[in-house]
């Protein structure tokens, strides 16, 4: 069965290392904050200028001057720091953020990513995503493996305007965890009960299937 | 104005000299830390043909969105359209000239403008529509694009506290684009929640030194929240 | 090291990994805000062939001057030789490779290095020996030169207070090059007068956020004064 | 008679305007702080990171963490701010400083200035001078009109390595106050008792002498 949004977040959470500074994008990436393994500590960076994002506030704590990059009210954890946008992107662009998790419309076998517009239809704007993909050493894309009509979002070449070129190495979809290597998606793990054939049928870009493709456990 | 006392009497004086066709760089992220009263005054003035540089463009009925709705803005330089329906509509229909700019590049363009750096290279946007038509150059084996800095006729800034000289501090994440914007205006206007006499702010912890600021005014703020999100106790 | 606790036990651990031929960017202006104990430790380690990036090079018997005297430095990138006789002598004799860099360009090169900006244009130095061999380009009708950014293997930084996570604040003009240097080291080591538990520093007024810092250590400082100048009461 | 250092500082002080942010270089420029006209207020910027420099400290106030760009101990005046070197030069390079006063070895009729080295003999380094001359809107150079051997320092072309090109418009020497216009030094004022002929004989670059050249008064 395809992973739920929560399972996707939980699976990404397993990639976190103790002491990581992590930027979580809007959507599923935001949920990763709920799945930080118990024995480690990570510090969340929000690109509007907060390092050390805490939980959502209690009703009594809500403060209009305290929001995250998704414009949600938040709190700061102990040891946080707050700074300007240029400083925030100095961290991001300068490669100081250890891990970035963000969503996408499409990725392809060259590590290209498209996430910010559908020409003529939808313009969200890139926000900080272009900076994040250009600056982070380590990026995990979380996305649906295929559209509702079955069309794959893991492509041999992105069709939408790019957010970044050649910058993605890891993708977690609702069906699989994959690494991008040498112009192909390498299938590393399957969602519980999802077959290699099903993943293959929903992957338009070249797929490499190792001898062993373990099932994820939750 | 005598010496360094930059207090102005009212919003008319705060925005005196703002005319049709001018450019304005504004602080704020979403609705957080936006100079809401200065924006309301610009709306009331009815100036048109503005070029506005701001990460977002408010929402339909608050912040910069009210200028958009009444067609006071000719061109927007921003990173995020998001859920602002009117912004997206004007963009897609071509009524509004929009230069979508990555958030970090936008922040750095404004900072560089204030700092007298006319242009810089960044990897951000290379190989994307943002890089189209821009010079590409390799540094450290990686392609970068040349981005030019931004300055504006006016900077409108929302601070928390300022002294009469124009030293400003910001509160929490309402800081965001405000300090950079403050450096990039030919005339920089700051509105704050509390105006204090010089000497009350710690010199070691001023976010915007007075040299960047031309006018300061104290006001009250609605500080609308875009997405109130809470946890239960 | 568990989680974000970046405290180290001693100076040996603070500078572990520093080797011959490495580059070091150092905070400080004159003798103000220099990481004097880290420098003393580098002296004691006896590493050689260093490239040091610092606005000044201390004086003959204090600060970076002690590394110069014992020929541990192969190359200096600095803006001011000033009254450091040994620095001037090694420069004029050609024993030391020196890249004299305008102070503002040096500050911006280090900041840009930390911020992932590989190069920028500035009017500073155009038409002078500093501009020789550098690309010239006009912006706004004025010639500018292309300057490349600086990063280093190690950054050595002197703060006033830091928390265990590596959030740092500086005191008065001892701030100077320290925050920029802190961003530009592959490994950034900060020594402070007071180390406090996380939560004691105001998040709105951190000069160097913890993300830039790898190691912190508390120590005592001589804080020598170069030019004691007073007025009478 | 040639101006004393104090008179030079006093004459420069008359160029200050109420509300000016001013950077004073090392040497005679530093003395200008003692000659700020009584009815105006200026704020002194020190490029090591202090805006609002106050007087030297009392003996009991001396603080190693509080120095100016000349490495002298100083104080901060009410309403001062203290910041990093990149921020300090953002102010300077960005043209936010209203007036800069600095010394020089040579200036010439094109507005070029040399102030930081004598090849093979002396290297002070440029410190912040190159940034100041490139960034300030308004610069006054204070210098001796001629060397002790009588050789002019106001030249048709600087002989020493430059600090900046085409950036100087105003020069105050111990003999005269001059403006640089259209490839010449225009003699605006004479030091008390100094003749036009004497100034002419000590000015190597082209000198333009208006019909009236008032004497400075002290």
Select the residue of C79, C127, C175 nearest D126 (Cβ to Cβ). C79
pLDDT the model gives residue C82: 75
Q: Is B81 on the interface with A (CB under 8 A)?
A: yes
Q: Cβ neighbours of residue D75 under 8 Å, at least 6 residues apart?
A: D53, D54, D55, D56, D57, D61, D66
Q: What percent of chain B has pLDDT over 70?
A: 100
- Residue pair B158/B28 in contact (Cβ under 8 Å)? The answer is yes
Inter-chain CB proximity A93 and C3 less than 8 Å: no
Q: Does D213 score more than 50 pLDDT? A: yes
CA distance D99 to chain B (A): 12
Taking the C-alpha atoms of residue B208 and residue B204, their distance in angstroms, rounded to an integer, is: 11
Per-residue pLDDT tens over the stretch B112-136 = 999 999 999 999 999 999 999 999 9
Query: Which chain D residues touch B213 with a CB distance below 8 Å?
Result: none
> Strand C152-163 relative to strand C23-26: parallel, antiparallel, unpaired?
parallel
Closest-CA residue to C109 (of C84, C134, C82): C134
Note the pTM of the prediction, 2 decimals. 0.98
pLDDT, mean of residues B162-186: 98
Query: Which chain A residues touch C203 with a CB distance below 8 Å?
Result: 52, 76, 80-82
pLDDT the model gives residue B85: 87
Structural domain boundaries of chain A? 5-208
Six token digits for residue A77: 């954890």
- Residue pair A124/B82 in contact (Cβ under 8 Å)? The answer is yes
Taking the C-alpha atoms of residue A8 and residue A24, their distance in angstroms, rounded to an integer, is: 13
Taking the C-alpha atoms of residue C189 and residue C155, their distance in angstroms, rounded to an integer, is: 6
Architecture of domain A5-208: 3-Layer(aba) Sandwich (3.40)
DSSP annotation of C207? S
Catalytic residue among D47, D106, D110, D204: D47
pLDDT the model gives residue A83: 98
Q: Cβ neighbours of residue D83 under 8 Å, at least 6 residues apart?
A: B206, B209, C175, D49, D51
Scanning chain C, the segments in alpha helix (DSSP H) are 11-14, 36-45, 65-69, 85-93, 103-114, 178-183
pLDDT the model gives residue C126: 97
Q: Does B54 score more than 50 pLDDT? A: yes
Residue B231: count of CB within 10 angstroms of its CB:
12
Taking the C-alpha atoms of residue B147 and residue D2, their distance in angstroms, rounded to an integer, is: 51
Looking from the CA of A119 toward its CB, the CA atoms found within 13 Å total: 5
Phi (first) and psi of residue D134, to 5 degrees: -80, -25
pLDDT, mean of residues D32-43: 94
Please name the residue that has the structure tokens 């104005």: B1
pLDDT the model gives residue C67: 97
Question: What ipTM, to 2 d.p.?
Answer: 0.97
Phi (first) and psi of residue C80, to 5 degrees: -145, 125
Window 138-197 of B: residues touching A by CB (8 A cutoff) are 160, 171-180
Q: Cβ neighbours of residue C100 under 8 Å, at least 6 residues apart?
A: C78, C79, C81, C130, D123, D125, D126
pLDDT, mean of residues C46-53: 98
Which domains, ranges and CATH numbers included, belong to chain B? Answer: 2-14+21-117+149-218 (3.40.1080.10)
Q: Which of A36, A90, A98, A100 to mutate to test the interface with C (most CBs of C within 10 A)?
A: A90
Could you say which residues of chain A have pLDDT below 50?
none
pLDDT, mean of residues C52-77: 96
Q: What percent of chain D has pLDDT over 70?
A: 100
Catalytic residues of A: 47
Per-residue pLDDT tens over the stretch B83-112 = 788 988 998 889 999 999 999 999 999 999
> Strand D170-173 relative to strand D139-143: parallel, antiparallel, unpaired?
parallel
Residue C20: count of CB within 10 angstroms of its CB:
12
DSSP annotation of D36? -
pLDDT, mean of residues D115-136: 90
Q: Does C1 score more than 70 pLDDT? A: no
Find, in chain C, the residue whose alpha carbon is nearest to that of A43. Answer: C4
Find, in chain B, the residue whose alpha carbon is nearest to that of D87. Answer: B115
Query: Which chain C residues touch A51 with a CB distance below 8 Å?
Result: 209-211
Q: Is C36 on the interface with A (CB under 8 A)?
A: no
Q: Is B202 on the interface with D (CB under 8 A)?
A: no
CA C35 to the chain's CA centroid: 8
Closest-CA residue to D100 (of D177, D46, D62, D157): D46
Confidence of residue D48 (pLDDT cuts 50, 70, 90): very high
Taking the C-alpha atoms of residue C29 and residue D48, their distance in angstroms, rounded to an integer, is: 7
Inter-chain CB proximity C183 and A96 less than 8 Å: yes
> Strand B73-78 relative to strand B168-169: parallel, antiparallel, unpaired?
unpaired
Q: Cβ neighbours of residue C133 under 8 Å, at least 6 residues apart?
A: none
- Residue pair B172/A81 in contact (Cβ under 8 Å)? The answer is no
> Strand A139-143 relative to strand A170-173: parallel, antiparallel, unpaired?
parallel
CA distance A217 to chain B (A): 28
Taking the C-alpha atoms of residue B177 and residue B150, their distance in angstroms, rounded to an integer, is: 13
Taking the C-alpha atoms of residue D218 and residue D213, their distance in angstroms, rounded to an integer, is: 16
Inter-chain CB proximity C163 and A79 less than 8 Å: yes
Please name the residue that has the structure tokens 């409108």: B156
Select the residue of B119, B137, B171 nearest C120 (Cβ to Cβ). B119
Inter-chain CB proximity A90 and C165 less than 8 Å: no
Query: Which chain C residues touch D46 with a CB distance below 8 Å?
Result: 173
pLDDT, mean of residues C178-182: 98
Inter-chain CB proximity A85 and B29 less than 8 Å: yes
Q: Does C2 score more than 80 pLDDT? A: no
CA distance A180 to chain B (A): 18
Taking the C-alpha atoms of residue A84 and residue D155, their distance in angstroms, rounded to an integer, is: 47
pLDDT the model gives residue C159: 98
Q: Cβ neighbours of residue A158 under 8 Å, at least 6 residues apart?
A: A106, A107, A108, A112, A113, A114
Q: Cβ neighbours of residue B46 under 8 Å, at least 6 residues apart?
A: B70, B72
Task: Name subunits touching D (3+ CB pairs < 8 A).
Answer: B, C
Higher pLDDT pick, C93 / D188:
D188
CA distance A212 to chain B (A): 35
Select the residue of B3, B117, B209 nearest D51 (Cβ to Cβ). B209
Closest-CA residue to C73 (of C102, C107, C43, C48): C48
Query: What mean pLDDT, rounded, does chain A reach?
Result: 96
- Roughly how many angstroms between the first and final C-alpha of chain C, as a whole number? 51
Q: Does D191 score more than 90 pLDDT? A: yes
Could you tell me which residues of chain A have a Cβ less than 8 Å from any Cβ in chain C?
18-19, 21, 40-41, 43, 45, 51-52, 76, 78-83, 86-87, 89-97, 135
Cite the beta strand spans of A50-104 per DSSP E.
50-53, 76-82, 99-103
In terms of phi and psi (left: phi > 0; alpha: psi -120 to 50; beta: otherwise), the region of B13 is alpha
Query: Which chain D residues touch C31 with a CB distance below 8 Å?
Result: 64, 71
pLDDT the model gives residue A137: 75
pLDDT the model gives residue B3: 87
pLDDT, mean of residues D16-36: 94
Q: Which of D57, D104, D134, D167 to mutate to test the interface with C (most CBs of C within 10 A)?
A: D134
Query: Which chain D residues touch C179 with a CB distance below 8 Å?
Result: 84, 86
pLDDT, mean of residues B173-178: 98
pLDDT the model gives residue B1: 45
Six token digits for residue D99: 């007036």
Q: Cβ neighbours of residue C21 under 8 Å, at least 6 residues apart?
A: C48, C49, C50, C74
Query: What mean pLDDT, rounded, does chain C reach?
Result: 96
Q: Which of A23, A39, A65, A81 to mutate to test the interface with C (most CBs of C within 10 A)?
A: A81
């Amino acid at each position: 069965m395809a992973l739920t949004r929560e399972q996707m977040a939980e699976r990404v959470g397993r990639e976190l290392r103790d002491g990581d500074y992590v930027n979580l994008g809007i959507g599923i990436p935001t949920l990763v904050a709920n799945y930080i393994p118990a024995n480690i500590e990570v510090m969340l960076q929000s690109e509007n200028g907060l390092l050390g994002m805490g939980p959502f506030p209690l009703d009594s704590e809500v403060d209009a001057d305290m929001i995250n990059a998704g414009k949600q009210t938040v709190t700061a954890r102990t040891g946080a720091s707050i700074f300007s946008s240029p400083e925030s992107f100095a961290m991001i662009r300068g490669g100081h953020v250890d891990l970035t998790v963000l969503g996408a419309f499409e990725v392809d076998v060259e590590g290209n990513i498209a996430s910010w517009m559908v020409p003529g239809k939808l313009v969200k704007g890139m926000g900080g995503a272009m900076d994040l993909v250009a600056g982070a050493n380590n990026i995990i894309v979380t996305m649906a493996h295929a559209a509702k009509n079955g069309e794959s979002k893991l492509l041999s070449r992105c069709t939408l305007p790019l957010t970044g070129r050649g910058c993605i190495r890891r993708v977690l979809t609702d069906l699989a965890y994959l690494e991008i290597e040498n112009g192909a998606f390498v299938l590393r793990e399957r969602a519980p009960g999802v077959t290699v054939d099903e993943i293959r049928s929903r992957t338009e870009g070249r797929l490499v299937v190792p001898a062993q493709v373990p099932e994820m456990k939750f | 104005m005598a010496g360094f006392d930059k207090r102005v009497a009212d919003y008319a004086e705060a925005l005196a000299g703002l005319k049709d066709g001018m450019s304005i760089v504004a602080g704020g992220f979403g609705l957080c830390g936006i100079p809401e009263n200065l924006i309301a005054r610009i709306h009331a003035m009815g100036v048109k043909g503005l070029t506005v540089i701001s990460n977002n463009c408010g929402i339909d009925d608050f912040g910069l969105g009210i200028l958009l709705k009444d067609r006071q803005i000719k061109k927007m330089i921003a990173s995020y359209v998001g859920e602002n329906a009117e912004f997206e509509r004007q963009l897609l229909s071509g009524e509004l000239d929009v230069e979508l700019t990555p958030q970090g590049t936008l922040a750095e363009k404004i900072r560089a403008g204030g700092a007298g750096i006319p242009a810089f290279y960044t990897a951000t946007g290379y190989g994307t529509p943002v890089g189209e038509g821009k010079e590409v150059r390799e540094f450290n084996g990686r392609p970068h694009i040349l981005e030019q800095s931004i300055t504006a006729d006016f900077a409108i800034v929302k601070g928390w506290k300022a002294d009469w000289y124009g030293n400003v501090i910001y509160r929490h994440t309402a800081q965001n684009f405000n300090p950079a914007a403050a450096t990039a205006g030919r005339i920089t206007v700051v509105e704050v929640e509390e105006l204090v006499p010089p000497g009350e702010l710690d010199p070691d912890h001023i976010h915007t030194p007075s040299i960047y600021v031309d006018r300061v005014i104290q006001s009250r703020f609605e500080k609308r929240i875009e997405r109130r999100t809470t946890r239960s106790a």
